[in-house]
């Protein structure tokens, strides 16, 4: 969601019964401006809100298109107080299986311990252990070979779970209309200046929307690698994910405003206004995946 279009694009979010209060919009705008002043991005977007029992998480995403081959680099940020955005921590695949079993609501407390590894109640490492956030010392053996001291294990915090969920939703759901982006001769992605929006008939077909991620299917990987890929616009994966039926396309009474919702991640929607360059996506939900969808369809 373009940060300068948040008030206008919330009308799409309203269709799933979600919105931002006047106070949230003002604080969010100020926090995003601060983030844009301290970071360098080709584009800064508001990604959405994940609800918590104590506080909500607000997510932003920075995109860097230049000097990134075939797909931009994405950087995620979060805030629970709408004062200052912070980087989401990197993913640790060690906890992937455990995270996918979590079904409890988020609390909105980033430092809350979900998996206690150190056995400590607090967030500080024991006095006899080095701080994992500080550079680790490298010792020398008698033969002058380096021996790296591995950092001590860290507790798995709620902010780590937040990073998993945000990245999962982004990978499985982020979308845009076919034709909205193009490749340059150097295979860098750019928004397509000649894109004037899908027409009414095109906008109402799910086949005219594609994932906003690096291609995963062999056919799309082969297509985007070709020299003539800059003459194509359908080089991203189509929305034909399994289970079939997880995507739902809906239009309002005017037929011009289209939303594409994902039933595996209730709260996600992509949107497009036919005949215009207005499109985007956002997530407003509790961050819990509907793992039973395959049995419900």
The tens digit of pLDDT for each residue in 159-215 reads 999 999 999 999 999 999 999 999 999 999 999 999 999 999 999 999 999 999 999
Whether residue 12 contacts residue 269, with contact meaning beta carbons closer than 8 Å, is answered with yes
Q: What is the DSSP letter of 278?
A: -
> Inter-axis angle of helices 6-13 and 22-38, to 10 degrees?
130
Q: What's the confidence (pLDDT) of residue 128?
A: 43
Tell me what the mean pLDDT of segment 59-88 comes to. Answer: 96
Banded model confidence at residue 146, pLDDT cuts 50, 70, 90: low
Across the range 60-78, mean pLDDT stands at 96
CA 236, CA 182: separation in Å to the nearest integer? Answer: 11
- 92-96, 111-115, 118-122, 216-220 — which is least confidently predicted? 118-122
Q: Which pLDDT score is estimated for 117? A: 83
To which H or E segment does residue 156 belong? strand 156-157
pLDDT at residue 37 tops 50? yes
> How far apart, in whole angstroms, are the C-alpha atoms of residue 175 and residue 189?
15
Q: Which helix (H) or strand (E) holds 219?
A: helix 218-225
Ordered by start, the domain boundaries in the chain are 5-92+159-295
Selection from 165, 281, 265, 267 nearest residue 212 by Cα: 281
pLDDT bucket at 244, cuts 50 / 70 / 90: confident
Reduced DSSP (H G I as helix, E B as strand, rest coil) percent helix, strand, coil of the chain, to 5: 25, 25, 45
β-bridge mates for residue 62, sequence order: 44, 75
Q: Cα separation of 39 and 73, whole Å?
A: 14
Mean pLDDT of the chain: 90
Exposure string of 141-170, with b = 16+ CB inside 10 Å and e = fewer, is eeeeeeeeeeeeebbbbbbbbbbbbbebbb
- Retrieve residue 213's tokens: 């991620």
Predicted TM-score (pTM) of this structure = 0.88
* Across 61-70, 131-140, 243-252, least confident range: 131-140
Question: How far apart are alpha carbons 236 and 212 in whole angstroms?
Answer: 7
Query: Using CA of residue 234, residue 236, residue 239, residue 243, what is the dihedral sign?
Result: positive
pLDDT of 103 strictly over 80: yes
- State residue 142's pLDDT score: 57
Report the pLDDT value the prediction gives residue 269, as an integer from 0 to 100. Answer: 96
Provide the pLDDT confidence category of residue 123 given band limits of 50, 70 and 90. very low
Yes or no: say if 15 and 296 are a contact pair by the CB < 8 Å rule.
Answer: no
Rg of the Cα atoms in the chain:
21
Lowest mean pLDDT among 128-132, 184-188, 243-247, 248-252: 128-132
Q: How confident is the model at residue 240 (pLDDT cuts 50, 70, 90)?
A: confident
Binning pLDDT at 50, 70 and 90, where does residue 153 land?
A: confident
DSSP code per residue over 73-126:
EEEEEEESSSS--EEPPPP-GGGHHHHTT--SPB-S-TT-EEE-SS--SSSSPP
Tokens of 158: 């709620």
How far apart are alpha carbons 169 and 99 in whole angstroms? 14
Is 60 exceeded by the pLDDT of residue 130? no
Helix and strand element counts for the chain (H, E)? 7, 16
pLDDT classification of 286: cutoffs 50, 70, 90: very high
More confident residue, 242 or 45: 45
């Amino acid at each position: 969601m373009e940060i300068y279009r948040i008030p206008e694009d919330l009308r799409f979010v309203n269709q799933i019964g979600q919105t931002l209060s006047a106070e949230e919009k003002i604080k969010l705008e100020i926090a995003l401006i601060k983030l844009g002043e301290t970071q360098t991005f080709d584009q800064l977007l508001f990604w959405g809100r994940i609800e918590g029992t104590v506080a909500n998480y607000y997510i932003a995403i920075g995109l860097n298109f230049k000097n990134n081959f075939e797909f931009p680099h994405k950087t995620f940020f979060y805030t629970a107080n709408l004062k200052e955005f912070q980087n989401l921590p990197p993913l640790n695949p060690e906890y992937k299986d455990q995270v996918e079993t979590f079904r409890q609501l988020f609390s909105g407390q980033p430092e809350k311990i979900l998996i206690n590894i150190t056995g400590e109640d607090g967030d500080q490492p024991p006095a006899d252990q080095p701080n994992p956030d500080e550079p680790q010392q490298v010792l020398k053996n008698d033969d002058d070979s380096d021996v790296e001291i591995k950092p001590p294990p860290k507790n798995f915090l709620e902010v780590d779970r937040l990073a998993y969920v945000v990245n999962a939703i982004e990978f499985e759901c982020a979308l845009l209309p076919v034709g909205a982006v193009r490749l340059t001769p150097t295979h860098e992605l750019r928004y397509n200046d000649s894109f004037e929006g899908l027409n009414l008939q095109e906008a109402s077909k799910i086949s005219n929307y594609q994932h906003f991620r690096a291609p995963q299917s062999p056919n799309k990987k082969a297509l985007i690698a070709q020299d003539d890929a800059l003459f194509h616009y359908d080089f991203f994966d189509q929305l034909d994910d399994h289970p079939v039926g997880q995507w739902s396309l809906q239009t309002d009474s005017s037929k011009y405003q289209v939303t594409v919702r994902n039933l595996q991640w209730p709260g996600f929607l992509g949107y497009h206004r036919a005949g215009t360059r207005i499109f985007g996506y956002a997530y407003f939900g509790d961050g819990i995946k509907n793992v039973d969808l395959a049995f419900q369809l």
